[in-house]
Amino acid sequence: MRSRAQWLWLIIGLVLGGVFAGLFVVFVAMPFALGHRNNLPLEKLYADFAVGLAVRTQAGSAQNPVAQNPRALEAGRTAYTGSCAVCHGANGDGSGMFGQNIYPPATDLRAHDTQEKTDAQLFWIIKNGLSFAGMPGFGSQYSDQDIWNLVTYTRSLATTSAARPALDVPAPTADQLAAANPQGDAAPRGAAVYFANGCQFCHGALGNAPGELRLRNAREASEAVRRGRRGMPRYDETQISNAQLSDLAAYMNTFQSVR
């Protein structure tokens, strides 16, 4: 039989081994994992389990109040164009500009893993985000009504009739991007704010997007920044300061003269 001293040394050895193993994970394994571009063993299985557990335990069972509502579908499409298509792609297949260049890649919203989730679960994901999956939360920018609109549009992506592409917003040219200068006068500073906040994805570099996304009045657009509007997130002073909003209006005032 082991003596008390032997048991004590065994316990100390196990504790020290655990400490060294933890230090190895923190200082060696984790930095390596941050840079890798392929799934580590069981990584996807764990990620799917974690997402499933999170949404099942926290999403609740709320019903979508605007399911299959045509107006909600169009508003959701507008919001999707600016906030989601850049990663998830025009038709939700995950092939957006950034979707395949992040890790893990953007989800195919048409796939079974997404569409099998309840509307309440999709609502929770859009509102709260999934930090380890690179999915931002939009709860501070979109109202609950707007998020339900996004859920309605996300649900529609799996159907053949609603594989509506995102609205065809003109991409900014190199010259238009070069006009942004955070150290310049008001309009160039406003251009820097405009592009930094992704306004061009919805409205085009010169506010020349189609339909409701076109910017026609700088004053109204500035007001919409603070309060949001159908399909558009709101931005408070922690996201766009009053000084930046003034610069933004100066930049938007240049649109009519260059279109």
Asked whether residue 24 is assigned to any structural domain, the reply reads: no
Strand-pair partners of 135: 130
242 and 179 fall within a common domain: yes
* 152 and 192 both lie in a single domain: no
205 and 232 fall within a common domain: yes
- Judge if 191 and 250 occupy the same domain: yes
Do 189 and 111 belong together in one domain?
no
Let me know if residue 110 belongs to a domain: yes
Assess if residue 15 is contained within a domain: no
Q: In this predicted structure, what is the pLDDT of residue 119?
A: 94
Segments of the chain scoring below 50 in pLDDT: none
Is this structure's pTM higher than 0.85? Answer: no
Q: Residue 129 belongs to a domain with what CATH number?
A: 1.10.760.10
Q: Are residues 145 and 180 in the same domain?
A: no
Q: What does the pLDDT read at residue 2?
A: 60
Please give the pLDDT value at position 10.
78
How many domains are contained in the chain? 2
Mark whether 97 and 189 lie in a shared domain. no
> Are 100 and 186 within one domain?
no
What range defines the domain where residue 133 resides?
46-156
Do 125 and 187 fall within a single domain? no
- Give the Cα separation of 153 and 221 in Å (integer): 24
Q: What CA–CA distances, in Å, run from 32 to 26, 28, 36, 102, 132?
A: 10, 6, 6, 16, 16
